[in-house]
Structure 1
Amino acid sequence: MTPLTAFFAKFIGAYAILAGAWLFFRREAALGLIDRISNDPVFESMIGVLRLVFGLAVISAHNRWDGWLASLVSALGWIGLASGAATMFLPTGFLRRMVERMRFREQLPLYALVSALLGAVLLLGGLSA
């Protein structure tokens, strides 16, 4: 494993754990933020830009597919790039419709758990280097 793979795994993993904990313990704040972002074209575009920047940063520095951890980090970079571009360029309200389709409000604890578990896998993988 390269030092860059370990760095990105620890960085993304720690973020995902904290984001999952925030979703779980600050449910109303998280739902309020999601509602605000998904109903405001400016915030929706800003989130798209942030996702795009994250994706570009990861894939420009780390587009490696050798080993499960490197592949997971690279895949998350490509997902960030694709979701950022989609959020930026698809019609206004697309994000809101996706949040509704995902039943985010009802399934929030599940999304929090998935985020925390993915984060733990990444963090432990990065720390094992």
Structure 2
Amino acid sequence: MESTTVMFGKILGLYLLTSGVAFIVATPFYAELTRKADRSDPMAVNISGMVHLFVGFGVVVNHFRWDGLLPTLVTLLGVAFVVRGLAYYWIPHVVLRPAEARATGLRVMGAAFVVVGGLTGYLSFLG
């Protein structure tokens, strides 16, 4: 397997696992953080968009491959980061809309991050 795929897979897998566990074990903190971020700090929104774009563009520019499970996961994650970054810039009012069930949403997102991060990490470190 190409070393670029494995490198990005390890980084993205670790990030998703770390974030997913954080969303699950510290849900009240992240629910409050996202509540406060809703339109209250335009600079934080801009920086979040920038970080998502840097990560996404970094992956997509260096790794746009669809020839296996891990390469496809890495590419899809890069595209997802780009889409999220663009959304922060172009439609922040949609990205930051208040969530009715913010805590539940964070736990579900955390679980999804753990699953995708676990699969990506497994394939990168052990696969």
TM-score for both structures, normalised by structure 1: 0.88
Match of 2:99 in 1: 100
Aligned positions of 1:24-103 closer than 5 A: 24-39=24-39, 40-90=41-91, 92-97=92-97, 100=99, 103=101
Unaligned runs of 5+ in 2: none
Give the structure 2 partner of residue 117 of structure 1.
115
Render the CA deviation track for 1:29-49: whole Å, top value 9, x for unaligned.
211221232332221111111
After superposition, the C-alpha distances for 1:63-90 in whole angstroms (9 at most, x for unaligned) are: 1111111011011111111210121122
Deviations 1:5-35 (A, max 9, x none): 1111111111111111111111122112212
Letter in 2 for 1:80: F
RMSD: 1.6
Aligned counterparts of 2:29 and 2:114: Cα–Cα separation in 1: 18
Instruction: List alignment gaps of at least 5 residues for structure 1.
Output: none
Closer/same/farther in 2, CA of residues 107 and 83 from structure 1, 3 Å limit: closer
Give the distance between the partners of 1:104 and 1:61, measured in 2 at CA. 34
Query: 1:127 offset after TM fit, Å?
Result: 1.2
Between the aligned partners of 2:94 and 2:47, the Cα distance in structure 1 is 14
CA distance in 1: counterparts of 2:36 and 2:47, whole angstroms: 12
TM-score (norm. length: structure 2): 0.89
**28-37 or 61-70, larger mean C-alpha shift:** 28-37
Cα contact 2:87–2:95 (8 A) shared by 1: no
Q: Aligned partner of 1:113: which letter?
A: A
Cα contact 1:44–1:95 (8 A) shared by 2? no
Are the aligned partners of 2:10 and 2:124 in contact in 1 as well (CA < 8 Å)? yes
Percent identity between the aligned chains? 23
What is the one-letter code of the residue matched to 2:13? G
